[in-house]
Chain A
Amino acid sequence: MGKNDQEPIRLKTDVLVIGGGLAGTNAAMGAAEAGASVVVLDKGKVQRSGDIGGGVDHFMAYLSTGPEWDTRDAFLGYVEKVGRGTNHLSHIESLFCDELPDAIERMARIGNPLTQPDGSFYRTKSMGQPGPYWINFNGKLLKPRLARAVSKLGCKVLSRVMTVDLLLDSGHVAGAVGFHVHSGRFYVIEANATVIATGNTNRIYENPRGNPFNTWLCPYNTGDGQVMAFTAGAALTNMEYMRLTMLPKGFAAPGFNALTGMGGRFMNSLGEYYMEKNHPLGNRAPRYACVMNSLEEMRAGRGPIFIDCRGLTDKELDHLETTLGYDKDTLPDYLAQRGEDLRKQPVEIMVSEGMQAGPTECNGSGIKIDGNAASTLPGLFAAGDAADHNRCVHGAVTGGYRAGKSAARHAKSLVGTPREPATITRGRMEQFMAPLHRESGTPYWQIEGTIRKIMSEHVGMARTDLGLRTGLQKLERLESHLDDMKVSNLHELMRSRETRSILTVGKMMATAALFRTESRNRPYHYRLDFPETDDTNWSGLVVVQKRGTGFECSLEHIVYSSH
C-alpha cells in the first residue's frame, strides 16, 4: 500500500484531460480530432464515471425549426432572462451556440443520437423556457459509447487515478500529478495543455436525507479540479451560488424535470397547486423559483409537498414510464420499492441538498473561462460543471469539445519550446501518503461532516455578513485539523483528499457570498441583510483568486445591450 518508494510512472502528451465524465470525454475527442495526443485521468472508470455514468435523458437546445422561440436569438434571450448578471452571453454563444450543430451530429456519429427511434426529436418545456428546449432522449449507454469513441481516437485513458496537483513551469500549467487509488503508484503527466473537467462540488452541505452520498449530482465530484486550478493561481467565478433542486423524497435522483416538463404540478399538503398561484410561468418557472416557492411552502408548514401527474394523458404517462429510468437507471426501482405510482397518486418530493454549481442550467460556477474555454492561467482550460460558463449536459458536450480543440491548438503552438521536465519530489509524495502512516488521527468523515454543518448553518440559504464571517472563521479553524487526518487504506486516502477540496471550496463560497452584498437567483444567493437584486451595481461575476495564503474578490461587471 502506498508505494511511494517506487519511482512515479511518467508520461508525456500534448493534451491532458483531468476527469473523464461527459465534458472530459468530449474534450478528449475535440483534442484528438484536432490531431493532438491525449491522456485522460479519471478517479473512476470512464465507461461509467461522472454525473451521467448510469445514463441521462435530456439535452437543452434550440433547433432552428422555424418558430421564433426556436432560434439562437430567442435562446440567448432566455439565458439572459434566467441568468442575468451571471454570465457573458458572448461566451455562451461561442461555447454553446457555435458548437451546437456539431455536437448534435457528434452524438449521432458515436451511436447515441438525440432523436427517437423514428428520427424525430421529443421536446418538452420547463424552467422558464420560451419553448420546448429540452430534448428527451435515451442516454443510458452514452458514457460507454463515449469511452469507446475516445479509445478509438487513440487517447490513453488511465482509470482510478486521482489527480492531486497541477504542475507549473514558469507560470504555465505543464501537466499534473496523480496517484492510483488501488496501487498507490504515482503518475506524472507532462502536457503542453491541460483541461480540467472534474464537475461541481457535492457533499458540501448537510444532506436532508442523512447519507452525504445520497446526492443529486455525482457524490464523487468534490471540486478537486477547481481547487487545483485555484491553488495554481487561476481565477474562479460564480462560487457564491449554492445550487438546489427538487427531488423525489428519500432518493436524490434526477429525472423529475421531465415530470414538470410534461405537465406535472407542484402541490402542497392542502392540495393547492402553489407554483400556479405564485409564479406567472407556474410549474414551468425557472428552477430557482420552484425551489424558493417550495421552501416557502415547507416553512409555512404546508408540507409535505408533491408532484401531481394525474392530469397527464395515458400517452404522456407511458412516455414518462419509459424515460424516467434513462436519467436515473434505478429511479423506477425506487418508486416501485417505495410503493409510488405516478398514475394514481401525487409523488412526495423535497428540496435537495445544497451544492456548489451554476446558478442556472445555462451557466456554471467554477474556473473562469473565456469563449475558447481557456482559464486565466496559460496552458489551462476548463469545461463542464468545473467551469463558469458551462453547465448541464448540453454545456458539457459543446463546451467540452471546444475546450479540447482549444487545448490542442495551444499544445501545437508550444511544439519545440524547451520545457523544464515536470516532476514531483519524494517529500511531496510522502506528504500525500502521510495520512496512511499516522498512528492516530481524525477520520476524514468526521472533518467532512463538520464542514457540512458549518456550511449549512452559516453559508446556506439565508446569509448575513456576521453569519458568513462566523462560518469562515470556523472553516479556517477546521482547516488546521486537516493534517491530523488518518486513513486506513488508499480508498480512504482518496476520500480524505476530497474532504480537503470540499473545505477549500467552502471557503471560496463563503468569501464570494460575503463580497456580494445583494441577492441574486434566490435562494442560491440570498442575503438577509441585502435581500434585493441590484442590477446597477452587481450585474456581473464575483471573481475569486488566491492572494498569498488568502482570497481576493473583485467584480467583473456585465452590461447587457440586446436580447
Chain B
Amino acid sequence: MPVAFDYELCDGCGVCSAVCPGDVIYMKGERGEKLPFNRYPDECWHCGSCRQDCPQKAITIVFSPDMLCI
C-alpha cells in the first residue's frame, strides 16, 4: 500500500482523506472511530500531501517493489 497508516498514532481526523487529490484515501469504521485506508492504492500519485498534512505524523509513504526494482 502506498500510504501506510500508524493506527496507534492516527486519531481518525480524516485530513488525509480530505486532501488526497486522487480520492484514493477513504475512511471506514463506526462514527467517532473512523480510520483511513487506501481504497484505490493503484491510483496514488505519491504526492505526499496526506503525510505533510497529517497532524499526528501517522503516515509513511511506502513504494511498491515494481517502482523500487525496475
A-side residues, CB < 8 A to B, are 43-45, 47-50, 53-55, 140, 144, 159-160, 181, 209-211, 213-215, 218-220, 249-251, 253, 328-330, 333-334, 337-338, 491, 494
B38 to chain A, nearest CB (A): 13
Residues of B within 8 A of A491 (CB): 23, 39-40
In this assembly, does B55 line the interface, its C-beta being within 8 Å of a C-beta of chain A? no
Leading 7 A-B pairs by shortest Cβ distance = A329-B48, A54-B47, A44-B21, A48-B49, A48-B19, A330-B48, A250-B67
With A53-B47, A337-B62, A491-B39 known, 9 other A-B pairs at CB within 8 A are A45-B19, A50-B21, A218-B45, A218-B47, A220-B45, A251-B63, A251-B67, A253-B46, A329-B51
A334 lies within 8 A of B67 (CB): yes
- Asked if B52 and A213 sit within 8 Å, CB to CB, the answer is no
Looking across the interface, which residue of chain B has its beta carbon closest to that of A182? B23
State whether A329 touches B47 (Cβ < 8 A).
yes
Interface size on B, residues (CB 8 A): 27
14 contacts between A and B (CB under 8 A): A43-B21, A210-B66, A211-B66, A213-B42, A220-B21, A249-B70, A250-B69, A250-B70, A251-B67, A329-B48, A330-B47, A334-B63, A334-B67, A337-B63
Find out whether the CB atom of B22 lies under 8 angstroms from the CB atom of A44: yes
- Rounded to whole angstroms, the CA-CA distance of A55 and B69 in the bound complex is 26
Which residues 5-52 of B have a CB within 8 angstroms of A? Answer: 18-23, 39-40, 42-49, 51-52
The chain B residue with its CB closest to the CB of A339 is: B68
- Once bound together, how far apart are the Cα atoms of A556 and B4, in whole Å? 51
Question: What residues on A are CB-neighbors of B43 within 8 Å?
Answer: 213, 219
Q: Which residue of A lies closest to B15 (CB)?
A: A47
A330 adjacent to B22 (CB under 8 Å): no
Grouping DSSP codes into helix (H, G, I), strand (E, B) and loop, the A interface class, with mixed when no group exceeds half, is loop
Contacting pair A48 B53 (CB below 8 A): yes
Q: Determine how close the nearest CB of chain B comes to the CB of A371; give it in whole angstroms.
A: 31
| Contact in complex: B67, A209 (CB < 8 Å) | yes
A341 to chain B, nearest CB (A): 15
What is the chain A residue whose CB lies nearest that of B66? A210
B63 touches A213 (CB 8 A): no
Q: Are A213 and B44 in contact (CB under 8 A)?
A: yes
A333-B61 CB under 8 A given contacts A44-B22, A53-B21: yes
Docked-complex contact B18 and A45, CB < 8 angstroms: yes
In the bound complex, residues from chain B placing their C-beta under 8 Å from that of A159 are 18
On whether A54 and B63 interact (CB within 8 A), knowing A44-B20, A45-B21, A49-B21, the answer reads: no
- What's the minimum C-beta distance from A482 to chain B, rounded to whole angstroms? 20
Given the known A-B contacts A45-B21, A219-B22, A338-B68, are A251 and B46 also in contact in the complex, defined by CB atoms under 8 Å? yes
Q: Looking at B39, B42, B44, B47, which has the most chain A CB atoms within 10 Å of its CB?
A: B47
Give which listed residue, A210, A215, A338, A494, contacts B45 with CB less than 8 A: A215
Among A215, A218, A333, A494, which residue has its beta carbon within 8 angstroms of that of B21?
A218
Tell me, in angstroms, the Cα distance from A219 to B40 when the chains sit together.
13
CA distance A147 to B18 in the complex (A): 14
User: In whole angstroms, what is the CA distance A89 to B42 when docked?
Assistant: 41
Distance between Cα atoms of A45 and B67 in the complex (Å) = 27
